[in-house]
Every structure is written in C-alpha cells, then in structure tokens.
C-alpha cells in the first residue's frame, strides 16, 4: 500500500481544491448577474428587484437589519392572482440565503459586475421573508459601511435590489482549518486521534467490556442499531455508522448521544446542513437535556429557535445585562432617521459604533457562559468554526450525514476532537462539487509518492469524503452497518440490497408488504396499485432523447437553466418518456392515490423542465432531480431515466450512487421508465439492474400509437 499522505500535504491539497471550487462558484454567480437583466434574474429565482429600504433596526445578536419593501414608484397594478401593489412580486429568495443589497442598475447599465455591487452594496443573510417585505441581517463588516448621512451603504433613498451570492463564509472556515493543518509539521505534535485519522497508527482495539450493560432509553431499537451504538461507545478514536436508506440512522444517533451523556461525556454534534442539525435538535429536545444550537437564527427551524444560542443570549438571565445596551442601540437607530442635520447624524453614527462594540463584548461573555454550561452543543460543520467554540473542548464529535460533507468541512469541528463518530452512507451521492473536473493532478509531475510540484497529492478530488477515506484507510472494521430498513417494500429493496449492501438489508415487518392499495385512505385495487415494482421499457428507438443544446435555454427550470454554459448545457430530455410519466401519474391519481404521495425523479434538469406542467395538472405532486431528492421518501416514485440513443451513451446515469438514490426513495411503489437497450450498454451495474427489472418487475411495453393518440 502507498504511504498515507502527511497532514500538511493533505491540507495543502485541500486548499488548492477548495480554491478552485470557490472560483467555480463565484464565476457561476458572476456569469448569472452579468449575462442577465435584473428582471430575468428575478424570474430565475436569484434576485428581487424594485425595492426600497423601509427601516433599519437592531436584530438578534446586535446585528443591523434592513427591512426592504416594494418601491411604490414602480409598483404595478393589482394582478389577477390577487397580488396587491404592496406585495413583493413572485421571487425565489428564501430565509437563510446570502445576498447582496445594492443600488439597482438602470436599464442601460444592466451588466453591473458583482464586484462593483459588492463595493457599493452591502452583504447579509435574509432573515425573514413575508408577503410584503424582506429583512436582511447585515454582515458585521458591512454594518459600518455608512453613507455620508449615516444610513448603511447609503441606500436610504435609492431603488435597490437583492441578489443571491456564493457563500464564502463556509469556504473561509474550511480554508482556515486547512491552513492550521498545513502548519502541523511535527508528528509528535499530533494527538493519537489525528494519527489514527491519517493512518499513522491503527485504531485502539475495541474493548466491549468497558461499555458494560446498557439501559436503553428506547428499548425498541433493532439489534443492528443496538450493535452500532455499543460499537460506537467502545471505540476510542473513530466509529463509522453506516446507514443505508431508511435504516434509522438519526434514530440511532439520538440514542447514542443520550447514552454518551449518561456516561458524562461532553458532545459536539454537527451536520453539513442546517436542516440535518435541526432534525437532531428536534428529536433530542423532548429528552430535556441542556443543549445549545449555534447558528444564524435566520437559518434555524422555528421549532429549534428556543435552543438557539443567539436567542438564549437575549432571553436567559445571563442575557439580561446585554439587553440594556440593545435598547439603547435601538433608540439611536431610530433617531438617525429623525434628524436632517448631517453633523448630528454622523455623531449618532459614531455612538452606535461604540455601543455595538460594547454590546459584542457583553454578548461574548454571556455566550461563553452559556456554551460552557451545556453538555451538548449542536452546529453545522462550518458553524463549529465560529468564535463561540474557539476554546471549547469536547470528548466526542458526532457528524451526521458525514458522507455528504466535504472532508475539509469535517475538520472544522474535528481539530478539537479526541474521538469522532460519523454516520452516513457512502453508497449514496457525495456532496455536490462544481469544479468537478478539476483535480489536484492537473500540473502533476512524476515526483515521488504521487506528489506534484506544489506538494499536493496527485489525483485527489473534493469528492472523496472523510467517510470514504477512512474506510479505505482502515477497512470495514471501523464501521457498523444498520440493516433493518423501515421504508421500502421488500421487492423495491431487493436490488439495491443485493448489489450494494451485501444482501444484508431486511425489510421491517411493517413495511415489507405494503402496497399503494393499502394506503390509509381509499385507493382502488388496480394493476398499478397492487404492484410494487413496474418497469415501462421504451426500447426500440421510438422514444429518443434530445440534447438540451438544440434549445434556447432561458425558461422554466429555475436558476440553473440560466447558465447554460455551466450547468444546463449538456442536459438531456425525452418528450415521449415525459408523456409516459404523465400517463402513469394519471393512472395512479385516477385510482385514488393523492398527488402529494407521488414524486417523479429524474437525473436531468432538462427533463424536469419538460415535466413541469404536471404540477399544474396534479397539484401537490413533487418533481425533483435525483440529487435533490436524496434524504427524501414518497409512497410512489416514478423514475424517468431519459437516455435513449443508438450509442449506448448513458452519461451520469453511469454513477451507481445516483441510481441507488433514485431507486431507494419509494415506500410502496417504484416505477422505472427507460430504454433498456440503451441503458444496458452503460455499465455492468446498469445491465444487472435492467436484467433484474426484466425478471422481477411488472414489465410493460408502451404502445407508441396509442400514446400519441392520447397526447393529441
């Protein structure tokens, strides 16, 4: 086996890959803004135009909040959907988005660069979106960007717009962490934990006796879940909990966290997304343990807010001393607007700056008191890199959805860990990478050990997750797999289980024979509702795919459609297959299945665009890309494979993990629509899947003539 890379080597490689990724993301944002008019960007869901600043106040955490509403000067007449002139137009900006607020370019100067906006505008997080207004909580550095008269960014009387931008905070945190690791030159300096994670030593052998008898909080856990918990408790440095689809990974983590608390351990729980973290907070909260959720309040689920550090800082006793300063700041903010005198305004502005400083000092003290008192702290991976945890130590770091996180992101919390427990499924899709074809070996020379000129590791990609790397490094002995799944009918589970999970998955009694016709509401017993696995085979060449490049791009598939060059250029669609999808959905709905229990997933954005009218015909139905549907489930799922050509080209259908995600979303019914002839040629895996469907599914060959007639 080749020598594992040194820690600085690893970190240098990550830095160069991350830089390329950030560039790709920024280039994509910049291309959007410079290529399209504000109104086109608004239609695409990435901007909101024709606004004015209606007020400016102090929000949670002492941050300045701009409130924006439609500019009365440009308001249109009430629309037929019942919109009022004071309502925001249809838009795609959501709470939690990072945005720039800037003066809106006039028609003539459409192509204002993002850089220019950034210089003149202000940046922040959308903290609230309502029918008639939008609030943006400003980044600290931009709070002091005062206009001549003291209003932030000098936007007070301008017509402004809001544009979504790349999230550089996440990137900065990862980069900072990697820079620390580059500096770790001496091996003696590494903790045993670090040495295990980089393969310099093996993990300490398990000592199950140390775990002792366990009193389960939830005794209904299945054996594989209990085993995984014991295994994780016994491990000294690292344990991977492998959770295939529907096997109750989060359920298991909750019990594990409670068990570790019983043992007096202090725990940091992280996940790659806010939703993954909130999901755990919601399920831990009923157990009444002292826990704190770090993170921007604008991005947390409402149900989680009363555990939010920002909110506790305001409401707890410790927070009382912070309150006075806050009230004073609010009064000052309000007075800015009342005075017309420039000199007075500047004076108030200077006072505010002082107050903000004091506020932060008091708040910091309060925050560190609160954090120190809590046994469980929860944050996103990059959120764990905030000032609040700077000097905090934890016995264990738990990472959920670890196979969907970039490794550099995992190191943000791991640098202060002694032990890590990672849960995930490396056989589903890894995190989305925009700079995918950039590898660290671009300029690789033939130097020793696969290292290139810059001391980075040849061939490394961001796609390799911590989960993957550790499995490769230490083998399956560091992992336990959960094996009972609570989602799919046995027949739906069979192929992914046999192919990817060593045939170890077992369908729980409650789900193994569930059919659509048994749904808890009235559904007719038909060919479509009594069969869990249907394959509509379009072989024969009558259902050809179409390349998106034949088309003019700017229409309905959302923001992605705008940058043809980056994301949409190579997408494929298949009109006839879309017609079959429609026909099948109709049959299900006619049988009584509710549209909200049906999802259509496809790997191609161009196909999604073609399918979009289904949403009007069957309100409540969900359409999604396979990648976007990871982590979700539905009673009935229709998968449209799209590819049909004489060359057997299957593009990214060839990715096993993508197919795995597609075929493991349904509970009671999976319908696959595709051209077996083309798809079989794609890979051995695809060939076996098609063979499996031919042998096991309810096989149907669509009749082109009747389909065409029905469409007409």
For ligand ATP, which is the closer residue by CB, 246 or 553? 246
Tokens of 288: 């009444």
CA distance linking residue 565 with residue 569, whole number of Å = 5
Q: How far apart are the first and last CA of the chain?
A: 62
For ligand ATP, which is the closer residue by CB, 221 or 370? 221
Tokens of 522: 């009235």
Residue 291 CB, nearest approach to ligand ATP (Å): 18
Residue 664 CB, nearest approach to ligand ATP (Å): 8
Would you say 101 and 68 are in contact if contact means Cβ atoms under 8 Å apart?
yes
For ligand ATP, which is the closer residue by CB, 54 or 250? 250
Residue 665 CB, nearest approach to ligand ATP (Å): 10
Could you tell me which of 88, 122, 116 has the C-alpha nearest to residue 102? 122
Q: Closest residue to ligand ATP, Cβ-based?
A: 248
CA distance linking residue 56 with residue 349, whole number of Å = 13
Tokens of 348: 């108030």
- The residue written with tokens 């988005």 in the block is 97
Helix 407-414 vs helix 7-35: crossing angle, to nearest 10: 120
For ligand ATP, which is the closer residue by CB, 220 or 437? 220
CA distance linking residue 362 with residue 365, whole number of Å = 5
The sign of the CA dihedral 253, 258, 262, 267 is positive
Could you tell me which of 395, 364, 375 has the C-alpha nearest to residue 291? 375
Residue 539 CB, nearest approach to ligand ATP (Å): 33
CA distance linking residue 463 with residue 707, whole number of Å = 42
For ligand ATP, which is the closer residue by CB, 330 or 596? 596
Would you say 131 and 88 are in contact if contact means Cβ atoms under 8 Å apart?
yes
Residue 627 CB, nearest approach to ligand ATP (Å): 16
For ligand ATP, which is the closer residue by CB, 221 or 329? 221
Per the document, the length of the chain is 712
Residue 236 CB, nearest approach to ligand ATP (Å): 25
For ligand ATP, which is the closer residue by CB, 249 or 469? 249
For ligand ATP, which is the closer residue by CB, 225 or 607? 225
Q: Which residues pair with 699 in a beta bridge?
A: 535
Would you say 196 and 189 are in contact if contact means Cβ atoms under 8 Å apart?
no
For ligand ATP, which is the closer residue by CB, 97 or 400? 400
Residue 417 CB, nearest approach to ligand ATP (Å): 22
Q: Which of helix, strand or coil describes residue 238?
A: strand
Tokens of 573: 């669609």
Binding site for ligand ATP (CB under 6 A): 220-222, 225, 243, 245-251, 486
Residue 383 CB, nearest approach to ligand ATP (Å): 20
The sign of the CA dihedral 671, 674, 675, 680 is negative
CA distance linking residue 667 with residue 417, whole number of Å = 38
For ligand ATP, which is the closer residue by CB, 163 or 427? 427
Residue 361 CB, nearest approach to ligand ATP (Å): 40
CA 535-539-543 angle, 5° bins: 100
Cβ-proximal residues to 522 (8 Å cutoff; 6+ apart), any chain: 592
CA distance linking residue 301 with residue 313, whole number of Å = 18
Residue 593 CB, nearest approach to ligand ATP (Å): 20
Residue 301 CB, nearest approach to ligand ATP (Å): 15
Q: Which residues pair with 98 in a beta bridge?
A: 125
For ligand ATP, which is the closer residue by CB, 215 or 616? 215
For ligand ATP, which is the closer residue by CB, 220 or 552? 220
Would you say 466 and 410 are in contact if contact means Cβ atoms under 8 Å apart?
yes
For ligand ATP, which is the closer residue by CB, 400 or 655? 400
For ligand ATP, which is the closer residue by CB, 221 or 460? 221
Residue 299 CB, nearest approach to ligand ATP (Å): 20
**CB count in 10 Å sphere of residue 209:** 7
CA distance linking residue 668 with residue 507, whole number of Å = 12
Could you tell me which of 128, 150, 101, 558 has the C-alpha nearest to residue 337? 150
Residue 216 CB, nearest approach to ligand ATP (Å): 10
Could you tell me which of 541, 566, 565, 562 has the C-alpha nearest to residue 553? 562
CA 541-544-546 angle, 5° bins: 160
Residue 223 CB, nearest approach to ligand ATP (Å): 9
Q: Which of helix, strand or coil describes residue 348?
A: helix
Tokens of 301: 């689920």
Residue 280 CB, nearest approach to ligand ATP (Å): 9
Distance from chain centroid for Cα 607 = 22
For ligand ATP, which is the closer residue by CB, 272 or 386? 272
């Amino acid at each position: 086996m080749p020598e594992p890379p040194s820690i600085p080597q690893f970190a240098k490689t990550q830095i160069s890959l991350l830089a390329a990724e950030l560039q790709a993301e920024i280039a994509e944002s910049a291309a959007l803004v410079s290529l399209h008019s504000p109104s086109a960007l608004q239609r695409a869901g990435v901007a909101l135009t024709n606004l004015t600043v209606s007020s400016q106040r102090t929000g949670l955490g002492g941050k300045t909040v701009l409130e924006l509403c439609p500019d009365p000067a440009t308001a249109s007449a009430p629309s037929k959907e019942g919109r009022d002139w004071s309502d925001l137009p249809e838009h795609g900006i959501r709470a939690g988005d990072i945005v720039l607020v800037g003066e809106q370019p006039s028609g003539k100067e459409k192509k204002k660069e993002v850089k220019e906006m950034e210089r003149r505008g202000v940046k922040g997080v959308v903290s609230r979106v309502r029918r008639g207004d939008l609030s943006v909580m400003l980044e600290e550095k931009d709070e002091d960007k005062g206009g001549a008269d003291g209003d932030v960014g000098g936007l007070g009387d301008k017509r402004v717009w809001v544009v979504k931008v790349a999230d550089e905070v996440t990137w900065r945190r990862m980069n900072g962490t990697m820079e620390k690791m580059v500096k770790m030159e001496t091996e003696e300096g590494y903790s045993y934990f670090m040495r295990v994670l980089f393969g310099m030593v093996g993990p300490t052998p398990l000592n199950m006796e140390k775990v002792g008898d366990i009193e389960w909080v939830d005794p209904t856990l299945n054996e594989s879940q209990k085993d995984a918990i014991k295994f994780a408790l016994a491990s000294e440095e690292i344990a991977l909990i492998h959770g295939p689809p529907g096997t109750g990974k989060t359920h298991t983590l909750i019990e594990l966290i409670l068990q570790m608390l019983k043992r007096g351990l202090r725990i940091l729980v992280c996940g790659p997304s806010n939703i993954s973290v909130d999901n755990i907070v919601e399920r831990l909260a009923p157990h009444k343990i002292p826990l704190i959720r770090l993170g921007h309040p604008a991005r947390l689920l409402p149900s989680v807010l009363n555990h939010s550090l920002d909110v506790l800082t305001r409401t707890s006793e410790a927070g009382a001393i912070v309150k006075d300063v806050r009230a004073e700041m609010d009064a000052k903010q309000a007075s800015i607007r009342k005075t017309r005198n420039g000199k007075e305004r500047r004076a108030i502005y200077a006072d505010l700056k002082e107050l903000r400083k004091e506020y932060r000092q008091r708040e910091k003290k309060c925050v560190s008191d609160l954090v120190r008192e809590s046994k469980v702290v929860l944050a996103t991976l990059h959120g764990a890199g905030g000032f609040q945890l700077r000097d905090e130590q934890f016995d264990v770091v738990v990472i959920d959805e670890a196979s969907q996180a970039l490794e550099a992101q995992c190191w943000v919390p791991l640098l202060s860990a002694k032990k890590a427990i990672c849960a995930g499924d490396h056989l589903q899709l890894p995190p989305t990478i925009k700079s995918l074809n950039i590898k660290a070996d671009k300029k690789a020379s033939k130097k020793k050990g696969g290292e290139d000129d810059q001391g980075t590791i040849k061939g490394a990609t961001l796609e390799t997750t911590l989960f993957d790397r550790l499995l490769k490094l230490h083998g399956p002995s560091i992992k336990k797999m959960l094996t009972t799944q609570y989602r799919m009918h046995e027949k739906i589970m069979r192929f992914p289980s046999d192919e990817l999970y060593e045939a170890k998955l077992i369908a729980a009694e409650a789900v193994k024979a569930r059919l659509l016709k048994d749904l808890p509401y009235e559904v007719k017993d038909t060919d479509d509702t009594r069969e869990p696995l249907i394959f509509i085979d379009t072989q024969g060449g009558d259902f050809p795919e179409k390349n998106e490049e034949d088309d003019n791009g700017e229409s309905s598939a959302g923001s992605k459609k705008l940058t043809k060059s980056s994301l949409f250029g190579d997408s494929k669609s298949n009109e006839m297959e879309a017609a079959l999808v429609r026909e099948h959905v109709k049959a299900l709905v006619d049988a009584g299945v509710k549209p909200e229990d049906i999802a259509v997933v496809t790997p191609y954005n161009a196909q999604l665009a073609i399918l979009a009218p289904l949403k009007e015909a069957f309100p409540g139905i969900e359409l999604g890309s396979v990648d976007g549907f990871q982590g979700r489930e539905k009673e009935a799922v229709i998968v449209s494979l799209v590819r049909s050509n004489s060359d057997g080209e299957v593009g990214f259908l060839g990715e096993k993990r993508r197919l795995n995600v597609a075929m493991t979303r349904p509970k009671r019914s999976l319908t696959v629509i595709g051209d077996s002839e083309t798809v079989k040629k794609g890979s051995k895996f695809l060939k076996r899947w098609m063979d499996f469907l031919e042998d096991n599914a309810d096989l149907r060959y669509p009749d082109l003539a009747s389909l065409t007639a029905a469409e007409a």
